[in-house]
Amino acid sequence: MDANKDHADVRTKKILFVTHSERGQSNTILAIALEASTRLHVEVHIASFPSLKSRVEALSPKLIFHPLNGKPMFDVFAEQGVAEQDLSHPPMKKNFWAFMDKFVFVTTAPDGESYVRLCDSVKKTIEGLNPSMVVVDSLLHAAFDACYSLNQRFVISTPNTPLDIARKYQPWLKGLWYYPWMGTGISFPVPWRDLPWNVIAVLVLFYKVATSPKVIQLNKDREAHGLSDQPPTRWAITRALHVICPGVRETDFPLVVPDYLGLYGPIVLDTTPVDLSDPELNRWLDRGQTVLMYMGTHFCYSESQVKAILNGFLSAVGHDSSTQFLWKLPNRSKFENLIEEALKNSRDKERFKIVNWLEADPPSIMMHPNVAALIHHGGANTYFEGALAGVPQIILAQWFDLYDMAARAEYLGIGIYGNRSVAPDIETIEFGTAIARLLRPGKESEGFRTRAKVVAEACRKAGGKRRAVDKLMEITDRE
């Protein structure tokens, strides 16, 4: 009788995940949601913009999708005249005001009317579901307002680094001066000569955002709608029950980790092994040492960059080398003449695999034992995937926090800032030198490989999405 009573008392828990639809923001949340859907007595719901629906449905029939009334970030940018290729900017040290203008635009893009409409859409979803817990994308501020106005318990999920969440909670105001600020291109530890630049960048950014007419109007619209008189950027983290982060101490600068911040290591979706998802590619990888390169979804190559990459790789490894280069190059046909000009002989053509799309998931490709280096733009998801795979990285930084990722990789000894002298552009000699430093036999390349393996082990021990969901279940069960 007691057993029957216990069974009757088991109630299905509804957990709602609210996220942006872009892969950079949604990947981590989707991985957590999919893992949560495997647990007993858990019903998983995902609320996002309609463009994410097909991806959610393809992952699992257990994930229940709810469309939000709003537009993805990059659609909002495009409506205001900023295309994906316009996001790149030089680091602050090279062009102070260009950086400031880009930063202010990105952080103030949503107008008040759209923001309030999105907030109402999230509120309506929460009220319809009455979930036990809501997990909110760290950049979806309207969802924080929705949770707060309904007194809904919530957890934050971020795809970014621990420091991005805990910066302002560091002792001695270290967040202001001790760490390189987003987009500055300053290395770590911050050199004395760059310290004034670093502090000035923080103060000017805060001032420009706070005094932006768009931000002022947004807060007026929020208050008129009965939302908190303080924007979520000031209170969301302290009012959340927990923050799920895919970093570990070994993937970040040294910092104090507050109690509310959980470090779970890279949180990635399960992938099909490359030998099953793309047997032909797997056979090609089996032939020998390979470099994998793919930039972010929102990166657009120029002809000069494609030329620099081709010539830089060839200059680093030589025409007689057996080292291979796997490169995801969207719109390859646009650059066919450059490719033909650079790859002059059949040997070069055999060891270059340049494709518009990778059929196998990049994390599964990284796990192939012959992948010796990863080249990317510095996105957090790719950075953590590379760290988990134990592959040394070359980061060709393009904008905002991507410059910080390059500084992290260099400080930790797991990678190289591969376009420091010309960022956000790419230069043949600098790029080729970075590849040579990672691949040529010797103390330096061995050091990169050894350190990358140490970091990978720390990432694996952290537990990833399974441990994150264990914590989420524990919090959800609290009355």
Tens of pLDDT, residues 265-319: 999 999 999 999 999 999 999 999 999 999 977 788 999 999 999 999 999 998 7
Residue in the block written with tokens 């929460």: 126
* pLDDT surpassing 60 at residue 9: no
* pLDDT surpassing 50 at residue 464: yes
CA distance 405 to 155: 25
Sequence-ordered strand ranges (E) for 124-173: 133-137, 154-157
CA distance 46 to 193: 47
CA distance 103 to 97: 10
CA distance 371 to 408: 21
CA distance 475 to 115: 29
- Residues above pLDDT 90, as percent of the chain: 78
Residue in the block written with tokens 């719109």: 331
* pLDDT surpassing 90 at residue 101: no
What does the mean pLDDT of the chain come to? 93
Which ranges of 413-442 does DSSP label H, i.e. alpha helix? Answer: 428-439
The amino acid that residue 27 corresponds to is N
CA distance 381 to 235: 26
R_g of the chain, CA atoms, integer Å = 23
* pLDDT surpassing 80 at residue 473: yes
**CA 446 to centroid of chain Cα atoms:** 27
Residue 306 φ then ψ, to 5° = -60, -40
Instruction: Give the pLDDT score at 5.
Output: 44
Dihedral (CA of 466, 401, 353, 453) sign: negative
* pLDDT surpassing 70 at residue 336: yes
First to last CA, the chain: 25
435, 372, 378, 445: which is closest to 406 by C-alpha?
378
Among 117-131, 318-332, 464-478, whose mean pLDDT is lowest? 318-332
How large is the average pLDDT for residues 318-337?
92
* pLDDT surpassing 60 at residue 196: yes
Residue in the block written with tokens 């790419």: 426
* pLDDT surpassing 70 at residue 2: no
Q: Helix (H, G, I), strand (E, B), or coil: what is residue 87?
A: coil
* pLDDT surpassing 50 at residue 148: yes
Name the DSSP class of 376: E
How large is the average pLDDT for residues 6-20?
80
The amino acid that residue 454 corresponds to is V
The band of 426, judged by pLDDT with boundaries at 50, 70 and 90, is very high
How large is the average pLDDT for residues 43-63?
97
Instruction: Give the pLDDT score at 407.
Output: 97
Dihedral (CA of 282, 59, 46, 13) sign: negative
Instruction: Give the pLDDT score at 414.
Output: 98
The band of 479, judged by pLDDT with boundaries at 50, 70 and 90, is low
Q: Report the DSSP pairing between strands 290-293 and 324-328.
A: parallel
Q: Which CATH code of 3.40.50.150, 3.40.50.2000, 3.90.1150.10, 2.40.37.10 fits the domain covering 274-461?
A: 3.40.50.2000
Choose between 323 and 318: higher pLDDT: 323
**pTM, two decimal places:** 0.94
The band of 3, judged by pLDDT with boundaries at 50, 70 and 90, is very low
* pLDDT surpassing 90 at residue 209: no
471, 478, 367: which is closest to 157 by C-alpha?
471
Counts of helices then strands in the chain (DSSP H, E) = 23, 13
Instruction: Give the pLDDT score at 321.
Output: 86
Among 118-132, 160-174, 223-237, 359-373, whose mean pLDDT is lowest? 223-237
Q: Is the peptide bond before 266 cis (omega within 30 degrees of 0)?
A: no
CA distance 65 to 56: 7
CA distance 131 to 110: 27
How large is the average pLDDT for residues 64-78?
89
The band of 4, judged by pLDDT with boundaries at 50, 70 and 90, is very low
> DSSP states of 354-393 as a string?
EESS-SS-HHHHHTSTTEEEEEE---HHHHHHHHHHT--E
How large is the average pLDDT for residues 182-191?
93
Q: Which CATH code of 3.40.1190.20, 3.40.50.2000, 1.20.1560.10, 3.40.630.30 fits the domain covering 2-72+112-195+212-265+463-477?
A: 3.40.50.2000
Residue 58: how many other CB atoms lie within 10 Å:
9
The amino acid that residue 197 corresponds to is W
Element of type H or E holding 397:
none
Start and end residues for every CATH 3.40.50.2000 domain found in the chain: 2-72+112-195+212-265+463-477, 274-461
Instruction: Give the pLDDT score at 205.
Output: 87
The band of 258, judged by pLDDT with boundaries at 50, 70 and 90, is very high
- Residues above pLDDT 70, as percent of the chain: 97
Name the DSSP class of 181: P
Instruction: Note whether 249 and 263 are within 8 A (CB).
Output: yes
Residue in the block written with tokens 């059929």: 359
Among 20-29, 135-144, 209-218, 326-335, whose mean pLDDT is lowest? 209-218
Residue in the block written with tokens 């790719």: 382
